[in-house]
A and B are shown apart, each in its own frame.
Chain A
């Protein structure tokens, strides 16, 4: 009875246990059965609902030995009122590529987190990590050591390479042009130092999508998006195309939606044609006829750079840097490009300046020269429309 009396009422949050959608409040309450920290969180969030304001303080530097990141320090702004939320640090745990797990692995993780933390998780955080939500400074190191025993390492935070993420790639998608999961795993292992010891002006994100459908939202969210693509012809199985038509698919309408008029339907011969030189690999026809159309055979990646959310100079969707490059293990060409880009950025970037903002400030031409790439028409939607062209000394005749 005593224990029940101590549990503060949370009438506003209780309302969110109703309704059909899974309730985060119910989840916090489940954790609160055995975790005082989870109960503390519940009480603080209830206060936020009443007062319409957050109660977390500006971060603090906490971590584990040998790393400069992977832990985000979090403290309540009112420890007298919410003593159990006094320290509520987050551990970013590098997720398995493609978010595949065995129940055995998840149980082992839960056992550790029940011992050292709140028993609450985000599966997963926006960047991709498993977010272990809420532990004390004292428990960080033992928790990390225990995680290490079941092969879970920390991800990135601060001015570092952030935890990579990818779609499920060839593991379970017929559209994947690359082995996205292997690429993520290989790059993650290769860049452990860059991920765990922040040494850059700001965050740097690499995300990998197996095809231009971009299920990992790589182009919108990563400084460097690696997107699977091909550059030969789409593979067509006319027999299967005819089956789609027989099943009621309106092929004229499908062709009309092709953005470059590369698709054609010969009604008389019941044949689909694709002008490969006009195809921009938008995935439309492959998406609607997965049994009939397949990605091409000459596969690789398109590299886009500069994608980011608004802070500070506005949101950007990544720009084309490399239209096509091969992407086979051990991904040497990609690693070489990452090094050239991050070195240029580390040298020229200002504090809290993302790569896209740096390129915009210095100019794309300057950046290309810095990383040793030649300008290509695929990089732009149109060439310059103003006459203010920069010329180098060696490009003009010296006079006087």
Chain B
């Protein structure tokens, strides 16, 4: 029997000596230039971290290339960020400029620190997910191609802007709490292959999987039926029963959500809320999606106060003003009808026009 249950490598063996010496002793950090962090310890030692963009989906060649760079300038020490960037950990200040020069020559994008738009947290999409409505990698590539100046610091933003892309309504990757989220959605209800269902469907589990009670048994066919009026196209039943399919290339597409955040800084964490209910899938460029995201960033950047996240800005001006300023239609799709819907209905005569 092979070795089991030994856990990940011990982090202590992965840290550069400067971090080991100053673990828990860091005093402050600053951003001397876009993409570079300078951490200063109470011992007086300092660490420079240089952040570069990554596609997240990477090859062994990429792994070896960043390893080469880390060995040349960082004694082999590097890390990844929670938003899938790579960070080179430079303990010798003299190596900072040569590192930046080599990164530039190799077309690595340095940035994503402070008042910038950092990398997009995204899901697998058509690359590897069975429930993908769209391709998260393709959307991410296109959106960041248009946002690249905000990453590198050529253009700045009022505050952090966290963008997330999820390829279905499961919203993996904190889409439900992002400044801007692009989420794949279905618009038509699942179809059942009754013959297959009669052989492989675990009917009680499938019925129980439906959050709205839209599925009932069909004893005649030894299968199930879906009530059109109750189904909200969450896809949960398709995970439980392989005989149920929901993919519909003609009708599937993406939606855009705004104003969420996770951090407790200043204001409380907030959910992302629906801004644009549907945009068709239009690979390989998804121009309507990239235009919409660019528009939302620009509207926020030109109207928000310094330090105001998307949701904080909208909270100050009100959603009714947001839809007007962003020139987005407000439709029946924007009215919540799920659990907690009534917490979103306005109960005051205070509102704007």
Contacts and interface: CB of A to CB of B under 8 A. Distances in A.
Contacts of A212: 263-265
Interface string B313-353: 00000000000000000000000001110000000000000
A310 B109 contact: no
B208 A351 contact: yes
A162 to B, nearest CB: 12
A151 B13 CA distance: 11
Given A49-B283, A148-B2, A193-B5, A101 B79 contact: yes
A31 B61 CA distance: 7
Contacts, number: 342
Contact of B62 (A27, A109, A214): A27
Interface string B123-142: 11111111111010110111
B59 A168 contact: no
Interface residues of B, number: 111
A174 B177 contact: no
A66 B4 contact: yes
Interface centre among A53, A55, A134, A181 (most CB of B within 10 A): A53
B233 to A, nearest CB: 12
A220 B174 contact: yes
Nearest to B250: A52
Interface in A274-315: 281-284, 287-288, 290-291, 294, 309-315
Given A103-B78, A312-B236, A172 B47 contact: yes
B266 interface: yes
A25 B142 CA distance: 12
B208 to A, nearest CB: 7
Contacts of B221: none
A45 B8 contact: no
B57 A27 contact: yes
A324 B118 CA distance: 32
A206 interface: no
Q: Is chain B's binding surface mostly helix, strand, loop or mixed?
A: loop
Given A100-B14, A151-B9, A193-B5, A27 B58 contact: yes
A363 interface: no
B7 A94 contact: yes
A53 B55 contact: no
B79 A100 contact: yes
Given A96-B8, A133-B128, A284-B266, 8 more contacts: A24-B57, A52-B249, A100-B14, A122-B58, A213-B263, A290-B28, A290-B30, A309-B175
Interface of B: 1-11, 13-15, 19, 23-24, 26-30, 39, 47, 49, 53-64, 66-68, 70-71, 76-82, 84, 86, 109, 121, 123-133, 135, 137-138, 140-142, 144-145, 148, 169-177, 205, 208-209, 211, 234-236, 238, 240, 242, 247, 249, 252, 262-267, 269, 271, 281, 283-285, 307, 338-340
6 contacts: A24-B137, A101-B78, A119-B59, A144-B2, A214-B263, A315-B171
Interface of A: 12-13, 15-16, 19-28, 30-31, 38, 41, 45, 48-49, 51-59, 64-67, 74, 88, 90, 94-107, 109-110, 113-114, 119-124, 126, 133-134, 141, 144-145, 148, 150-153, 165, 167-168, 170-174, 176, 179, 181-182, 185, 188-189, 192-193, 196, 212-217, 219-221, 257, 259, 281-284, 287-288, 290-291, 294, 309-315, 317, 350-352
Complex A-B, nearest 10 residue pairs according to Cβ-Cβ distance, in ascending order? A103-B67, A19-B145, A48-B126, A212-B264, A315-B176, A192-B5, A103-B76, A21-B144, A170-B24, A52-B249
